[in-house]
Structure 1
């Protein structure tokens, strides 16, 4: 991104942007350089949320820039001026970059003396608004003594509208002039927002300042609807901008200030419902309110004062992994580490204040008791939240409309905290309900059509296909009957969906508008069309049958799925015998209440959020911790070189000392930045949230599995989140907290092992990607001792079933991962298998040390014994398995030999030539496959020699001959 000034004569294209032409001048904070045909170092590095002031002085002929109000100095002097020369703001953006301009339509955050904005402030309206606000303040601070007929001073904080005629008439006159001004963004931000912020400056809880509630009551009373609507929209937009673009200060005071005012506004019921219905998700990125940005420049965020002492790991093993042994610490190292931890704790307490305010906002939005004047806030939020998920799930190829993953991480954690709080409050009122610790999503949500899963893949394939194939099971198990004629019509509609013309799309949009749906908006959060699931369910006739007795013709109830924005509390929670979201309860599910249905849908949405982008972001932010380890390793290596440096080489010593200083500065910076990331993303509380989500997924999968064939309706993302959240807990949170410290850790590992062992070859799962993911997860699971022991703790029946699936003939499925799992179960028992990595190969890189394939051998004699029993007891299985292994071995080794010969012939040619790197990779892969297949063959021969030597078996002689050929 390059931002600055240019003239009309500049011509830009894909290769040349601002600063690449003679009359354009730019500053690039990403590369920390200035550009005007040539480039030189200038300024500071910028980050998302920073404010850049672009200053041009046409008297002096100079251009300069400020970053968050701090001058970066003159960038360009003696710029071209004269007749016909006019400069315009200009910017060059790369893919996925965005910027918001303020030319003066809003108050400048950092005005610079001697410079004017391009757009002059509305001075007349500003004076008028300030005068009217002064009149309003006078009314608030004045009381009328009716008996004595005189005015009295009073505390404005205690003001209430009591219906006094004189006060009311005065306020009507004030608002008659004030209301039109409050629709203008400049006046809202400069006058009214500052006034409202001033009310809260006294401190204390937001609820201790009722004046804002009374003022909002007054505005709804005295302003026209369109005026109060526009005012609230502009006020929330101003608050969001102020929160997002405020610099990080040590006490986070600015962020706290804006969040407190947001809470005060949302405490007003009528305003909250209007904002929820029309602004928070439709116009704004309201998720920004739940984000805590990470400072790129730690000195500006005050982290040097907050964490004066830095620390980083300085003991590593041969593979470059940190050694966490407190007994080996020196006294000085221990003091530094403890001082660093105290600084991190101070930072954590300050960030927790912001997080608590963010949770309060969500608690207000999840209020389901404010039913005065329409739907409760929770049900408005629920419908908007579902649309938010749909837009982020359906626009994966269009990054401009997606919620940034760093926002999604913070939003998920605040949502989980608020959700669990509401869940446990309901459980306290209804003791028969489940507590949040035992929460799960009941399986009927996946097939009854009450929750829209858009076009997300189900375990068994497309929803329309599942409805058609499993309609009998739906009728018998879930009491849901689908009209065959409607089913056929919708199935055909699904088939022709891709061929719909633009005109039919427009007609569908018009129809959506006619029934109250929202058309697509060009804003960040546009309203998408309904997903395939909803279109299917809105036309399919679904009947509910009583499970106790057959229904008469008059008792059948037609149930249709509503558009997301049309659903009401009754549609979600149910009433008068209607089960709402829990329609179609299977016999395996209890009829006791789990919790409120609305909370179940929010829980389902939280799981989906993790799958959309949270997991990827958790993996991305681990990079800072990896950087710290790399620099610490480099520093330790440099210090050892300094000790060994001969005294006769002062030149080398000088260079080493310079390198040491560079590494120290970088580590000081990174360790403070890492402290912030560990508190906001990888803290113990955040780890508990992800662990809770993992347990929710495990319970949900277990309950859905009990429904038999209806398990196919479960969305794939539940299995993905179960696998990915475990991976995150094991690999991403480990520098801060250990997964072993979590309550019920061993049991959770065993339950996940049972799910992987059962479903990696489940015929109800048809998706290639999810089947591969399950296979890879199981392969990774058997590489680590603690997770392998979990596999050994599952029931013997499940172990035998898993081994039987692993021994199925290779020709019928992708076999490489299956074979690799068998190799890992054997590794450490075979010939020459004592090494993790062969000693003649290069040392493992630190970043590769956690790879499953590079773990120390941990064979499972228990699973080996099950394998031996299966092969010994089932001659047909043994014959088909060994023949498939030998066939694949012949193929892999033949391919390897053929490629080696081609490479050798190419190397012997006289002319210069290069071997294609892809050919080398394929050759290496064929060699690895050959070795792995030989290891499985070795395991089979060792464990079950009878297969080859027992002549009572019909296949023994043939298998022995094939083995001898190998």
Structure 2
């Protein structure tokens, strides 16, 4: 409505009457009884003046009829007004036809739509002819209307944000499968995905667009300009000097969409969302639109007068006493009924009016009456709804109204100055109150657009980089000079706005859950909600997730639905008698939320075996459902039961019923709130850094985990709403368990376990990508801060003007990236890391971990567990662990509730029942991450499953696929006691697991030797790759970021593998010094190989520069990391040999001396001795051990000199023997292969058979090896 400015919407009154309140807001009070004399001549005809005011008529234009005022009289007055609007519309259409030509194919409807004959490619109509989606690689089309003079526009609402070209084109512009709008002379378009304008050639223009943006496409033919608008903001003139065209051969609105792109076109069938002054729609509004808008304004003024009458305004009392306004007790009904009767009559006779009014003036009226901000005027809104429901045309009008409100939710942006009642909140609050009326809920459910509009209400408009500049105008990080308080307040404001929207989502879903469809047989509550969720999941999973990948399906719908279910299961909610979800009545009824209930737990196994359309294609732990269904399974229990915490060890037994509560219930709301407000100051550390702890909650405030009601613990807050308590036949939802027993026992009843199942799938599809994006920005923020500080340091140190100039340019780029990351992090904190969500996620992890451990005891049931159960659990666990700000201290994160997570990952990372290797990798990578932290390592050391299984399982899992995470884990377990490793304080090393690994290697020699063989091969390969990469970069004289990152990662892995090998030589030296010398020879070859590559790879400065990554200390990126374990390996062998017989020492030296490169070895040993160890090992005990290395070098030198002398004597005059091994040329061929009878030395064939069972020479499979001496 025209009266609907922001200030007026808050009060609900137009400016003309608002002054009567003298600055006081209306207060709703019981209606009083007034006696009105219609024949009283005193007071200047108060009744007539009242009618004139309400109907916006000239003074003294109403002539009072004899008798009482009835609806017929009011309708006659309104019909006179209708004739005036018709005359105005005739004048408007006369000028319109002189500028616009619509080719309606003779239908006479004058509707502007896409012209089917102009389509190149293929479009699919999603809802009506104007919501279209491209189902071809590239589709283009023109509208069926053109313009040649004047100023015109149309709006495009983006349902996706990919490649779309929107604009104008003439008939002379051809469309092909590669060329569309903007690819010809008289064709102009804007593409916000590529931030480009097109007219034959692309040029930069505008801003990036986002899903939910409304793009205004304006053409000014008088000024020969084309301009585009994004959400009402001009992007500037895109094209000037466009060619004039002849009448009836003008410019057509035209679009080109890539495959999967979707948009809604509005040529004037709806009022524009962001109208531009002076520009007209290409399609005329319906004939009755102005009159119906006038009628709704009359209804609004009627309610205003009524509200003023109820108010305590002294000025209005004075007007009433002089009878300038008559009391409305008897006038309200005839006037309101007359207005509504004329309104619905006008809609019925005017084509397209219903849709236009529903999207325009009706929505505006209801929002003005309801008020966009609290407290809402529920009484007046109910009056309007009661009036409308009396007329038959109300059904289709309200159905279209609900669709309009849902579409407005999709495009409603958050505006900082309007928070917390911003974004989609006003539309959600309005529709929630409308749907509390049973009739409205029924007609919505019966409409064809139920699912479409439900999705719309759950959709949120996500801001992009440009939008965040307005939402977060100032940013701050530690060390910056920006305004810290301003950013903190901004984040709090955004959090409050998100909270309001989420409350409305919960209320809407609760209404749907409680709704019982009027069908036979009667369906239980929750059946409608279940059907919607199933169809939503089907859509989300459609086409191998293509709909999510290309943006056709809006991810925010899944996020909103997940948030609703998480709150229901964690916090619980109840509904008042009017159907409103009330957060002040949390957990009343049966006690606490489902996820926080202690004691006995249960899960129906039929959820795993069902064969629904949306569930049958989901991969399971044991393979695809199509394969598993052929397996026979008998005696499967219908329900599994367990006691909470039954999987925990005695030391880690923490449940909701023990004195020590889990983390999710051991933190006060006040503490969480304080921590959350301080989160703006928190800058995430690197992935290896410690977490900032959150104060723990005293035990006496953890009563919510008890089985009793919280009525004694939690005081209900006063409701901010003044809504009336009206009973509409809904079933009050305290907890789902409070439903009648008949419903609860029904197989169709919606159960909490089913909601948990759905919530895990929603997390997997919708939430997990959001967390990945959040952690990306957190990581980038930390890196940008480091780069900014490093650049500032270099600027202070440099004196060259040119270097300073380049550094300042780089600094500006780093600063811009940092500001962008901070803004995104603020948004992520506001939307993802609210305290109640973290609490619910923690409880979810506890519940699912126990469920999976219980199910794993059954081979059959465990195979049918969906993969997303494990994936969602692991992702949710790490999202909590890395959350910003941290949920709890790392010291208690696992101990107080999630100790069984360690049991799960250790028990199943090598479980043969898990078919998908990616799933095993996920569990293995979790261990790899957790063992980096001392607090988590302690939990592993106290876990029975980890102690019994992990060492052997890790050695077995060191294969071609999982060797990287396994090597990382072994490195973390083994580090801390090697040469030069104590300087950095290896806090997460584990003496316990080092002993366990040693015992496993000694007692399972075959497993250890197999592991050792793979370790040799892998380290040799990584060092080769590293050497090649660094040499390639040195030859190019430049270091590319990607190549440097690859080189650095390979080097880190090589260092880890070398440390593991050093551990083996220290703890299991007998594997190298006793028995066959093959392991010792391979170890010696590897040491020499690595030394040779490191020495010859590059000069020291280039080497260290190549390896250094942003944020790393220099001491962690230089060659010390690889040289130290090599020294440690040599010293370990020497130390063990020195405590045994002298022969073993000779064996070590002999093996080194037998290498056909004594000069290389000697140079390598000298390189190790001359390395700057004194600086690296300052204060380290390892420095004293270098004397042993020097002794080894001297002894090696003497031995090799003696061996060289003997070889010269032996080789003088001798010819080469025929039986020398042709592989190594150093030993006799003393072994024969069967069945091919080829020969080599026994050492060569034994080493070859470790990795291949085929002959060197003929590739035949070797069945056995025979020593010639034996035969």
Q: TM-score, normalised by structure 1?
A: 0.70
Q: Secondary structure at the match of 2:229?
A: strand
The 1-side partners of 2:819 and 2:1053 are apart by 46
919-928 or 30-39, which moves further after superposition?
919-928
Tell me whether 1:105 sits opposite 2:269 in the alignment: yes
| Equivalence for 1:245 | 411
Structure 1 residue 118, shift from structure 2 partner: 1.1
Give the 3-state SS of the residue equivalent to 1:882 in structure 2. Answer: helix
- Inter-partner Cα distance in structure 2 for 1:48 and 1:860: 50
Match of 1:771 among 896, 904, 920: 920
Q: Deviations over 1:553-573 (max 9, x none)?
A: xxxxxxxxxxxxxxxx99998
Contact 1:367–1:377 (CA under 8 A) maintained in structure 2? yes
**Quick check: 1:311 aligned with 2:472?**
no
How many Å separate the matches in 2 of 1:660 and 1:10? 46
Displacement of 1:277: 5.8
| 2:569–2:593 CA contact under 8 A, matched in 1 | no
CA contact (8 A) 2:410 2:456 kept: no
Q: Unaligned regions of 5+ residues in structure 2, if any?
A: 1-163, 308-324, 575-584, 642-734, 1084-1271
> Where does 1:945-964 land on structure 2 (aligned, <5 Å)?
945=1069, 957-958=1075-1076, 962-964=1079-1081
Q: C-alpha separation between the residues in 1 aligned to 2:273 and 2:1030?
A: 68
Post-superposition shift, 1:188? 1.0
Is this contact kept in 2: 1:705–1:711, CA < 8 A? Answer: yes
Which residue matches 1:863?
A: 993
2:458 paired residue number: 289
Check whether the contact 1:607–1:721 (CA below 8 A) recurs between aligned residues. yes
Alignment of 1:619-630 (within 5 A): 619-630=772-783
The residue number in structure 2 matching 1:711 is 862
Q: How far is the alpha carbon of 1:276 from its aligned partner? A: 4.3
Cα 1:359/1:128, change in 2 over 3 Å: closer
Which whole-Å deviations, capped at 9, do the CAs of 1:631-671 have from their partners, x for residues lacking one?
4444434433443454xx77776776676667666655654
CA distance in 1, matches of 2:975, 2:401: 65
**Pair 1:193 & 2:355 matched:** no
The aligned counterpart of 1:611 is 764
CA drift of 1:176 comes to 5.4
Of 380, 391, 395 in structure 1, the residue corresponding to residue 543 of structure 2 is 395
Alignment of 1:408-807 (within 5 A): 408-422=558-572, 428-430=588-590, 436=596, 442-449=603-610, 453-463=615-625, 465-466=627-628, 468-474=630-636, 579-580=745-746, 597-644=750-797, 646=799, 671-672=822-823, 674-707=825-858, 709-731=860-882, 733-734=883-884, 736-740=885-889, 745-795=894-944, 797-807=945-955
User: How far, CA to CA, are the matches of 1:663 and 1:358 in structure 2?
Assistant: 39
Aligned residue for 2:239, secondary structure, equals: strand
Residue 244 (structure 1) shift: 2.4
Match of 2:1193 in 1: none
> Residue 610 of structure 1 aligns to a residue in which SS?
helix
- Counterpart of 2:149 in structure 1 is none
Question: Could you say which structure has the higher helix fraction?
Answer: 1
CA distance in 2, matches of 1:635, 1:56: 45
Instruction: Quote how far apart the aligned CAs of 1:131 are.
Output: 3.6
Query: Given the superposition, is the C-alpha separation of residues 58 and 624 from structure 1 closer, same or farther in structure 2, using an over 3 Å criterion?
Result: same
Who wins on radius of gyration, i.e. which is larger?
2
Shift of 1:293: 2.6
Q: Relative to structure 2, which stretch is displaced further, 934-943 or 55-64? A: 934-943
Matches within 5 A, 1:98-497: 98-128=262-292, 130-131=294-295, 134=298, 153-154=327-328, 175=344, 178=347, 184-201=354-371, 204-206=374-376, 209-213=378-382, 215-216=384-385, 219-220=388-389, 222-223=391-392, 228=395, 230-250=396-416, 251-252=418-419, 253-255=421-423, 256-276=425-445, 278=447, 282-284=451-453, 286=455, 288-291=457-460, 293-294=462-463, 296-298=465-467, 301=470, 303-304=472-473, 310-314=475-479, 336-367=483-514, 375=523, 378-399=526-547, 403-422=553-572, 428-430=588-590, 436=596, 442-449=603-610, 453-463=615-625, 465-466=627-628, 468-474=630-636
Q: What is the Cα deviation at residue 292 of structure 1?
A: 5.2
Deviation (angstroms), 1:694? 2.3
Contact 2:267 2:281 in 1 (8 A): yes
Note closer, same or farther for the CA distance 1:277–1:609 as it changes in structure 2 (3 Å cut). Answer: farther
Q: In the alignment, which of 11, 36, 42 is matched to residue 174 of structure 2? A: 11
Residue deviations 1:329-383, cap 9 Å, x none?
Answer: xxx96x9434532443244334433333333223323336898995465321122
Change (3 A) 1:59 1:819: closer
Summarize the Cα distance change of 1:61–1:455 in structure 2 as closer, same or farther, 3 Å threshold: same
CA contact (8 A) 1:32 1:43 kept: yes
Distance 1:807 1:342, change over 3 A: same
Does residue 211 of structure 2 align to residue 48 of structure 1?
Answer: yes
- 1:288, 1:115 → 2: CA distance? 30
Cα displacement (A) at 1:862: 0.9
Q: Whole-Å Cα distance in 2 between the matches of residues 940 and 652 of structure 1? A: 49
Render the CA deviation track for 1:79-107: whole Å, top value 9, x for unaligned. Answer: 11234842112234445543322111110
In the other structure, the counterpart of 1:325 is none
Q: 1:61–1:830: structure 2 CA closer, same or farther, 3 Å change rule?
A: same
Give yes or no for contact 1:185–1:234 (8 Å, CA) kept in 2: yes
Instruction: State the secondary structure of the residue aligned to 1:63.
Output: strand
Report the 3-state secondary structure (helix = DSSP H, G, I; strand = E; otherwise coil) of the residue aligned with 2:219. strand
Residues 412-421 or 571-580, more deviating: 571-580
Cα distance change on mapping 1:650 and 1:17 into 2, 3 Å: same
Structure 2 residue matching 1:866: 3-state secondary structure: helix
Matched positions, count: 788
* SS of alignment partner, residue 461 of structure 1: coil
Deviation at 1:223, TM superposition (A): 1.6
Distance 1:302 1:964, change over 3 A: closer
The alpha-carbon distance between structure 1 residues 103 and 45, as it changes in their structure 2 partners (threshold 3 A), is same
Cα separation, 1, equivalents of 2:471 and 2:1023: 63
Correspondence for 1:507: none
Deviation per CA, 1:479-508: give whole Å up to 9, x if none: 9xxxxxxxxxxxxxxxxxxxxxxxxxxxxx
- CA-atom RMSD in angstroms: 5.0
Inter-CA distance 438–38: structure 2 relative to 1 (3 Å threshold): farther
Secondary structure in 2 aligned to 1:697? Answer: helix
Q: By how many angstroms is 1:186 displaced?
A: 0.7
Match 2:1063 to one of 935, 939, 944: 939
Cα deviation code 1:443-499 (max 9, x no counterpart): 5244453876231112122345445535224279989xxxxxxxxxxxxxxxxxxxx
